[in-house]
Chain A
Amino acid sequence: MNPTPSTPTPSTASSASGKPKLALYWAASCGGCEIAVLAINEKILDVAAAFDIVFWPCVMDGKVRDIERMPDGGIDVCLFNGGIRTSEQEYMAQLLRRKSKVLVAFGSCAHEGCIPGLANLSSREEIFQAVYGNGQSTENPQELRPQVQTHTPEGEILLPYFYDTLRTLDQTVPVDYYLPGCPPEAENIWKAIEAIVSGKLPPRGTVLGPTTTVCDECPRKRSEKKIQQFKRTWQTVPDEETCLLEQGLVCCGIATRAGCGALCPRVNSPCIGCHGPNVDVPDFGARMMTALSSVLDANTPEEIERILTEGIPDPVGVFYRFSLAASLLRRSRLRKKEVGPGGNGGNGANQPTGSPAVEKASAARR
């Protein structure tokens, strides 16, 4: 999964004010990661003291043009949250990659797609249909859809183009570090910032976190028990001491990278996998399926299928809640006419050629 970025080794001690420059950006995200940065509380003042914050659209005024005018590599560190769903987000990912010495995929959305990536179970047209078409609270008898290009007397108006498939940040541009979690916990954010400030960074491409699973941080008792059925969280109140998986709940702690201190199992709720796959796990869902197959006590196809249908009616949602976009298959299958470079999703002009510069810049990790 880890690309070899082409940018030079970071040196965070360079800037006119003497302070390293920091940028924060959001793409297809919920905003939670922005709040998570503020959850480091008064330490945010230390961040402001240690860094010159040059760009943070959620919190302060700033212009993309100022970033465009900076020299390449002019930003020391960029914390980027959110996945890439639109052309504008891809443009910003490319811009910030070029301008930043260190680019951090911050939080699950940038790291592995997260909840916005679950929309990879639908096509662009299906998403538009749900949002602008026949949604419960939508009245749109003219079937209006946002257009990429609109002609007005004042000139052309452009809107970002919406992709069929959400990509992770590293499927779009090379990424230096990953900070997992939905959102990352305050201590881990602070640790990452300290590591960056002190220059004590692991090799590029590293996920900043432990290389064990949530189970290793979980205090619950395990006894290698087999289970007869999967229960859904609303069907049971689990006891507070036994492993939740052994109580029949699908707990993703077995596949998930540690680092949160097993927050969810500690409050009697199964881990749903927000820190992403543990190290050397290429596909989170595959790891979950392997693990669940080992604990399930059923030996005929009929029985297995019955248990699955009753207990895990939405396997993609359970096995890939956070990692669908980063999984080996990345998305559900599109209908034939929607597939591939020749297809036409419907809105805007269909002009197939891009400038060579753009093609080159976007050639990373596809």
Chain B
Amino acid sequence: MTHPNGDSPNPEFEPKLIGFLCNWCSYRAADLAGISRIKYPPNMRIIRVMCSGRVDPTFVLEALAQGADGVMVAGCHPGECHYIEQNYKTMRRFYMLRQMLLQMGLEPERFQLVWASAAEGQQLADAVSKMVEEVRRLGPLQWPANWQENGQRLHALQAIVQEHQQAMEVSR
């Protein structure tokens, strides 16, 4: 199977996604999907929060920095939040964080916001399946590899130590 962008997806790669799901809606939607035996891939580790407004941008950054391939935030539809308008805050945070992450070089598919009510088990399952496929196509993210430098770093350090040892006759 080939892709619109010419890359062939790596069928071996199983994306690791983190999903922050609101207790009152999306988390119940995920539950409903389970009870109703709606099939969706098991790639998303779900973290239940009391409201999507509880999702601090720190959580998202931490997930990516620890090696997640993508992050989903899901909450009640705008206007239906149990804490009145916290999910509007979520929406503002999401777009702010998204613009920052795009500037850092993240593909938009790896960070998604989904609204799903408690009755929308199918919709949530579809959104998860779609995101898993999109991220599978992009491949692993491996954010921490970005700051690992290559082998030349240690080689160069060693060269300094040797040079100083020779020139300065120091013992270490």
Residues of A33-75 at the interface with B, using a CB-CB cut-off of 8 Å, are: 64-65, 68-69
For residue A68, which residues in chain B have a CB less than 8 angstroms away from its CB? 164, 168, 170, 172
In the complex the two chains form, what is the Cα distance from A90 to B92 in whole Å? 40
Q: Which of B89, B106, B152, B158: most chain A Cβ within 10 A?
A: B152
| A201, CB-defined interface residue at 8 Å | no
For residue A149, which residues in chain B have a CB less than 8 angstroms away from its CB? 159
**Chain B min CB distance to A297 (Å):** 9
**Chain A min CB distance to B65 (Å):** 4
For residue B148, which residues in chain A have a CB less than 8 angstroms away from its CB? 339-341
For residue A344, which residues in chain B have a CB less than 8 angstroms away from its CB? 150, 152
| B6, CB-defined interface residue at 8 Å | no
Say which residue of B89, B97, B156 sits within 8 Å of A160 (CB atoms): B156
Say which residue of A87, A293, A331 sits within 8 Å of B96 (CB atoms): A293
- Chain A residue at minimal CB-CB distance from B105: A333
- Chain A residue at minimal CB-CB distance from B58: A286
Stretch at the interface among A8-16, A257-265, A314-322: A314-322
In the complex the two chains form, what is the Cα distance from A148 to B157 in whole Å? 11
| B32, CB-defined interface residue at 8 Å | no
Q: Is B147 touching A331 in the complex (CB atoms < 8 A)?
A: yes
In the complex the two chains form, what is the Cα distance from A326 to B31 in whole Å? 38
| B153, CB-defined interface residue at 8 Å | yes
Q: Is B92 touching A296 in the complex (CB atoms < 8 A)?
A: yes
In the complex the two chains form, what is the Cα distance from A266 to B61 in whole Å? 33
**Chain A min CB distance to B94 (Å):** 8
| A350, CB-defined interface residue at 8 Å | yes
| B145, CB-defined interface residue at 8 Å | yes
**Chain A min CB distance to B5 (Å):** 14
| A144, CB-defined interface residue at 8 Å | no
| A228, CB-defined interface residue at 8 Å | no
Say which residue of A165, A304, A345 sits within 8 Å of B146 (CB atoms): A165
Q: Is B161 touching A163 in the complex (CB atoms < 8 A)?
A: no
Q: Is A341 touching B151 in the complex (CB atoms < 8 A)?
A: yes
Say which residue of B58, B93, B99, B150 sits within 8 Å of A328 (CB atoms): B58
Residues of A334-348 at the interface with B, using a CB-CB cut-off of 8 Å, are: 334, 339-345, 348
In the complex the two chains form, what is the Cα distance from A87 to B168 in whole Å? 18
In the complex the two chains form, what is the Cα distance from A319 to B170 in whole Å? 45
Q: Is A315 touching B142 in the complex (CB atoms < 8 A)?
A: no
Q: Is A333 touching B168 in the complex (CB atoms < 8 A)?
A: no
In the complex the two chains form, what is the Cα distance from A289 to B103 in whole Å? 15
Q: Is B57 touching A65 in the complex (CB atoms < 8 A)?
A: no
In the complex the two chains form, what is the Cα distance from A359 to B57 in whole Å? 34
Q: Is A353 touching B154 in the complex (CB atoms < 8 A)?
A: yes
**Chain B min CB distance to A85 (Å):** 11
| B40, CB-defined interface residue at 8 Å | no
For residue A342, which residues in chain B have a CB less than 8 angstroms away from its CB? 150
Residues of B38-56 at the interface with A, using a CB-CB cut-off of 8 Å, are: 56
In the complex the two chains form, what is the Cα distance from A43 to B95 in whole Å? 49
Say which residue of A148, A285, A333 sits within 8 Å of B57 (CB atoms): A285
For residue A352, which residues in chain B have a CB less than 8 angstroms away from its CB? 150-152, 154-155
For residue B91, which residues in chain A have a CB less than 8 angstroms away from its CB? 299, 301, 304
| A142, CB-defined interface residue at 8 Å | no
In the complex the two chains form, what is the Cα distance from A236 to B148 in whole Å? 43
For residue B104, which residues in chain A have a CB less than 8 angstroms away from its CB? 121, 316, 329, 331-333
Say which residue of B97, B147, B151, B164 sits within 8 Å of A330 (CB atoms): B147
For residue A69, which residues in chain B have a CB less than 8 angstroms away from its CB? 168, 170
| A131, CB-defined interface residue at 8 Å | no
| B78, CB-defined interface residue at 8 Å | yes
| A17, CB-defined interface residue at 8 Å | no
For residue A345, which residues in chain B have a CB less than 8 angstroms away from its CB? 150, 152
| A294, CB-defined interface residue at 8 Å | yes
| A241, CB-defined interface residue at 8 Å | no
- Chain A residue at minimal CB-CB distance from B145: A340
| B125, CB-defined interface residue at 8 Å | no
| B149, CB-defined interface residue at 8 Å | yes
- 25 pairs, CB–CB < 8 Å, chain A vs chain B: A65-B167, A68-B170, A68-B172, A90-B153, A91-B160, A148-B156, A148-B159, A158-B160, A165-B146, A290-B56, A294-B89, A298-B92, A299-B78, A301-B91, A304-B92, A312-B99, A316-B104, A332-B103, A345-B150, A348-B156, A350-B152, A352-B150, A354-B151, A354-B153, A354-B155
Top 6 A-B residue pairs of the complex, sorted by shortest distance between their CB atoms: A354-B154, A352-B151, A333-B105, A161-B156, A87-B156, A286-B57
A interface list, Cβ under 8 A from B: 64-65, 68-69, 87-88, 90-91, 121, 148-149, 158, 160-161, 163-165, 167, 282-283, 285-287, 289-290, 292-294, 296, 298-299, 301, 304-305, 308-309, 312, 314-316, 319, 327-334, 339-345, 348-355, 357-359, 362
Known contacts A158-B160, A293-B93, then 8 further A-B pairs from the complex at CB < 8 Å, ordered by chain A residue: A87-B160, A163-B153, A286-B56, A292-B96, A329-B61, A343-B150, A354-B155, A358-B154
